[in-house]
Chain A
Amino acid sequence: AQSVTQLDSHVSVSEGTPVLLRCNYSSSYSPSLFWYVQHPNKGLQLLLKYTSAATLVKGINGFEAEFKKSETSFHLTKPSAHMSDAAEYFCVVSDRAGGFKTIFGAGTRLFVKA
Chain B
Amino acid sequence: DVKVTQSSRYLVKRTGEKVFLECVQDMDHENMFWYRQDPGLGLRLIYFSYDVKMKEKGDIPEGYSVSREKKERFSLILESASTNQTSMYLCASSAPRKEKIYGYTFGSGTRLTVV
Contact = CB atoms under 8 A, between A and B. Distances in A.
Interface of A: 9, 32, 34, 36, 41-46, 49, 51, 90, 92, 94-96, 99-100, 102, 104-107
B110 to A, nearest CB: 10
B107 A99 contact: no
A90 B108 CA distance: 15
Contact of A102 (B90, B99, B111): B99
Given A45-B106, A46-B102, 16 more contacts: A41-B88, A43-B6, A43-B109, A44-B92, A44-B106, A46-B103, A49-B102, A51-B101, A90-B42, A94-B100, A96-B100, A99-B31, A99-B94, A100-B56, A106-B41, A107-B42
Contacts of A104: 42-43
Nearest to A93: B100
Nearest to A92: B103
A94 B98 CA distance: 11
B16 interface: no
B109 A51 contact: no
Contact of A32 (B42, B90, B101): B101
Q: Which of B6, B56, B103 has the most CB of A within 10 A?
A: B103
Given A99-B50, A105-B42, A41 B109 contact: yes
